[in-house]
Amino acid sequence: MSVQRTIPLCIPDMDDAEVQAVAAVLKSGWLAHGPMNHEFEKLFAQFAGVPCAVSLNSCASALFLAMRASGITGEVILPSFTFVASANAVVTGGATCVFADIDYDTCCIDPAHVEALITPRTEAIMPVHYGGQAADMARLAAIARKHKLRIIEDSAEAIGATCAGKPTGSWGIGCWSFYPTKNIATGEGGMLTTDDVALADRVRAMAGHGIASSTWAREKKEKPWLRAATFAGYNMRMSNVLAAIGVVQMKKLERMNDARRKHAARYDALLKKEFFDLPVEAPGRKHVYQMYTVKLKGADRSTFLADLRAQGIGATVHFDPPVHTQPFYAEQLGFGTLELPVTMKVSSTIVTLPMYPGMSEDDVGLVAEAANAAARKHRA
């Protein structure tokens, strides 16, 4: 059976509340970083259970500023099975990538391999919480404590996931994304969270031209026109307009994640295990299904995907090629011959199926049925 209408990979959950929040900001005339940023940061810090949250223009900026503000220049251990932004932040931040393999079931960094890669030059671990699945933070935190390493979490894909009851992004410096496919969306946007107040202040100043106070905060001071940079910074701030969307989205986060989990359970029940290895929710961890990804068994992935896409189903791949095989990393940084067997196996078989809160039960059923049929048809 073929699907009669389009089911895209993702549709951000936006309704009248977001429209009204944006309209109110536009009418207020305060478009740049402003009062809604403070509101968004307050809500986000509460949610993550940390004292500090800094709103930024992207997660890539959060990762970069996390690197720079913590002064890391040595080796950072991270997975190659991630979006390239994780590794780019290590490189542009002035440090060295050391790629670890992943665990097949969770697709997150393998703690045993992390420990084996530690050298006297290692300064940090950067776990990536893949597609809504928390990495094994309990083990990674113990390794970090033992070897006195920092943790910078790429929590772009896991807003609301937990490990041992503790949110991802709260185990070290948390870096988050609000790109439209993420668990909450502002279009472009990111957040950095930390329990280190001095680090948060440094990040805020770095994101605001090296000036320690924001325009909004200066307005309340005696001489708001005085702007003094204490170092050469960047402009990586989030606008008041996008922060207003973020405030509304935060209030919907739990409901949206519950919907994702319900859709995932339906996919789990309908997809045939003879064709797919299904996503795994590791014991003690909460998966929030930013993506629903399966590993295709014994079928040609290109024809499988082409078949689904021809039927209007926005199936795709996250992530192939893995970072260490991409031209800059393979050729210029010399990672081309690095062997990461699980990473290679997963990246060559992984498929992302549509997942967003507004999917109906029928949508999930149609995608599952089409995926089962395509996997049978394109058996290698």
Ligand X SMILES: Cc1ncc(COP(=O)(O)O)c(C=O)c1O
Binding residues (CB under 6 A) for ligand X: these are: 58-60, 82-83, 85-86, 128, 154, 156-157, 177, 179, 190
Cis preceding linkage at 44, omega within 30: no
Residue whose pair of structure tokens reads 């599952």 in the numeric block: 368
Task: Examine the residue annotation and report whether 182 is marked as an active-site residue of this protein.
Answer: yes
Closest separation in Å from C-beta 170 to ligand X: 17
Closest separation in Å from C-beta 323 to ligand X: 10
Closer to ligand X by CB, 59 or 100: give it. Answer: 59
Residues 122, 128, 131, CA angle at the centre, nearest 5°?
170
- Candidate list 182, 220, 223, 297, residue with the active-site label: 182
Closest separation in Å from C-beta 370 to ligand X: 25
Residue whose pair of structure tokens reads 């089409």 in the numeric block: 370
Q: Of 338, 321, 334, which Cα lies nearest the Cα of 91? A: 334
Strand ranges of the sheet holding 52-56, from the earlier edge strand across to the other edge: 52-56, 190-194, 173-177, 150-154, 122-125, 75-79, 96-100
Closer to ligand X by CB, 180 or 210: give it. Answer: 180
* Cα(315)–Cα(351) distance, integer angstroms: 7
3-class SS string, 171-231:
CCEEEEECCCCCCCCCCCCEEEEECCHHHHHHHHHHHECCECCCHHHHCCCCCCCCCCECC
- The identity of residue 113, as a single letter, is H
Closer to ligand X by CB, 63 or 366: give it. Answer: 63
Closest separation in Å from C-beta 189 to ligand X: 7
* Cα(292)–Cα(263) distance, integer angstroms: 9
Closer to ligand X by CB, 53 or 366: give it. Answer: 53
Closer to ligand X by CB, 56 or 199: give it. Answer: 56
**Residues with catalytic function:** 182
